[in-house]
Structure 1
């Protein structure tokens, strides 16, 4: 039973250590792949700890120097003494298959970690005094830990492999592009021109002050992607799913008054339009999760499940500062918590190779400026958000601040919205103008009013 619960191979461990003792290049091969705790036998663990320390400090490694190092550390006896070291060198002829041996040893270690972690989880799951959400968080952490440990040079590629993968991706863009859009369409042609659509693996931040229209804009993006046949998963921490449904009904229908929908005072024609709009919307590949207590671990678990089913091309999270932050680290401040959530969102985009649109709040600094135009420095609570993001867009509506025109373009502010692309890691920045109705349920391409065009015609 013990062998089953503690999978290991002492002979394999001895072969690896023997190779490191007699081959000058052996430690270079295993130093970044193995750690002392990965060795099951205590004596082997002590020997490798000494070897690793000597390698990192640039000391020469042979039977004599390692014996002296162990003596200096006071662990020579625990490592099996001089005789034990000599026995290790007799177990191997060369380091020809050292990398494969290290991979096997790593696998055995991961299995032991898995067994130990799952036993602890079973105990927590059976203990009703432990919060269920905390058990699920522990499960996610164990999964992350095991996946991280199991990676053995999976991400190390030589230039030949990298160029093959790069050309393959280029061919996919050429084959799949639609009028220059290679990612998930945004529903706004000017935004698509700057971004080529939301790109796989990118974290896209959309930030604004409260009541400027973050959620409304995010719903437009989700609807545009769904209409293009892309599978969208919306994680709404702020609003109930049915309230999002109200907004989508108003966006889809030709003429439904949002106030009538909210109060129930719908005309017979509006009720008919709502029914038809619901039929059309129900065909779109869009899912909504409105669990108010979800955190990034829940989002990652859910998104991975949807991705495994082929139902996740775009993730929308509304919004960052509402994500429940749970961590083993104590006494963390709010900025550190937000930074961790932002980092997890970026890792999620990279892991699933899908674009993530993450809504975020701006601080009050922008409201102190004359035109209230936001800037990157206004990102609330954490500079890590800007660092993690591939694209940062700032939402701005001058009419919110009773400004008659938008300063830069001179456009009248009524029904005008702006998305300021302030950071774009892989492309251009710029301003994108869009139009919206009074209730912010319909968003579309911006065309200046005829009066403005005639006034500014040459």
Structure 2
């Protein structure tokens, strides 16, 4: 740390706060919202505040005598200067009239000191070429996040009349903005919109499946439809190169033969269609990042930047288990802990930016040992934290892949049938969303049963 930087502090404010706490029993209820013992610059002031805080939490009486006795019990009375100091502090204050102002000032000085110390450490690490640059950035981001929580001046507690007023205002906004029951970002699948009312701000939705079931294609379809509805989408692809996603988006939106496109044998008429489709897709408000070593901190930093520019309404992450799990200079020993932290960060990102986050995840092999291989919520890999933090969990299932010709629940033929099983829905009903797809999984649409099935079942 630069020794020439002067640390901001105000000892007279510290004694004013402590004096008010010693004089008025109700004063601690106010300062406890803002202050902690470590926020006092003078160490002995922090000790006195810690003793008062402990007594307050235990419901004990607070005055000069009881606080002196508590410090003696802790073995800290002489460290703070003895009983004389306690009496002296209390004698310097007449009332607690400006207690809140004094407390906020102390909090402000503490935050400034923490910034100076933390950023000085970051500066030192930034000049050390043996430290990973990403680690320096992540640690600095964590520092600012922690300080940011302390710097939140607004009160979050609301009385019931205020809460009910805010609730009705939000409901009125939903009512005004609702289009055919969709109050969030449309998904492009009617049954999914009916189940969720669209992707909702602040929600973390998990889409999970076994490999090769079609997670990426389904999610690209969802991102494309959100963008076509005018919402800015950020698509973070850790597994797949951006150009490969571009290929799939062109195939989603055109009638180009997938095999010919991938083999370079696209006929002239389809080539013209592909070029035209690419020009239309280029107009969509989608940002694609294919950095193969993305962490949740990296994604958060990019999303915040785009949000500040008004270019981030929904975030898609493909996929959870591939995100960089290195945390600082040490690796967590337990994989489940790593996934838990990443999932929690995804949920906090949704809340912080007030936008939906759609996070893809792998399923474990348990479903493959089950008749029909139908996935269940417990099949989520490292499932504890994923299931806990998610507002919605969709399990992707294509019964035709496992040799099933007729879906047992709906009776639908399984050729071209895809299912998004809503295994968890914190704010609504669970159920199954059916969609149709072609053999190459490059076309995804609302499901309509075949005419033969409709005729057969109409009798």
**Paired position in structure 2 for 1:310:** 310
Q: CA deviation at 1:152?
A: 4.0
Where does the alignment leave 5 or more consecutive residues of structure 1 unmatched?
A: none
2:92 and 2:242 map into 1 onto residues whose CA distance is 64
Tell me: CA distance 1:215–1:330, structure 2 relative to 1, closer, same or farther (3 Å): closer
* SS of aligned partner of 1:303: helix
* SS of aligned partner of 1:456: helix
1:140 and 1:331 map into 2 onto residues whose CA distance is 19
2:161 and 2:93 map into 1 onto residues whose CA distance is 33
**Paired position in structure 2 for 1:265:** 265
**Paired position in structure 1 for 2:234:** 233
1:136-285 → structure 2 map (5 Å cutoff): 136-152=137-153, 154-253=155-254, 255-285=255-285
Q: CA deviation at 1:97?
A: 3.1
2:270 and 2:92 map into 1 onto residues whose CA distance is 83
**Paired position in structure 2 for 1:343:** 344
**Paired position in structure 1 for 2:288:** 288
TM-score by length of 1: 0.97
- Tell me, yes or no, if the aligned pair for 1:22 and 1:62 is still in contact at 8 Å: yes
* SS of aligned partner of 1:5: coil
Q: CA deviation at 1:9?
A: 0.8
| CA deviations over 1:374-406 (Å, ceiling 9, x no partner) | 111111113111111111111110011121111
2:321 and 2:133 map into 1 onto residues whose CA distance is 23
Q: CA deviation at 1:438?
A: 1.3
Q: CA deviation at 1:161?
A: 2.5
Q: CA deviation at 1:369?
A: 1.7
* SS of aligned partner of 2:168: helix
- Tell me, yes or no, if the aligned pair for 2:135 and 2:327 is still in contact at 8 Å: no
- Tell me, yes or no, if the aligned pair for 2:332 and 2:338 is still in contact at 8 Å: no
| CA deviations over 1:54-91 (Å, ceiling 9, x no partner) | 22333321111111221222222221222211121122
**Paired position in structure 1 for 2:78:** 77
* SS of aligned partner of 2:208: strand
- Tell me, yes or no, if the aligned pair for 1:336 and 1:382 is still in contact at 8 Å: no
More off after superposition, 197-206 vs 51-60: 51-60
- Tell me, yes or no, if the aligned pair for 1:42 and 1:78 is still in contact at 8 Å: no
**Paired position in structure 2 for 1:14:** 15
Tell me: CA distance 1:2–1:20, structure 2 relative to 1, closer, same or farther (3 Å): farther
**Paired position in structure 1 for 2:320:** 320
Q: CA deviation at 1:316?
A: 0.3
Where does the alignment leave 5 or more consecutive residues of structure 2 unmatched?
A: none
1:71 and 1:185 map into 2 onto residues whose CA distance is 64
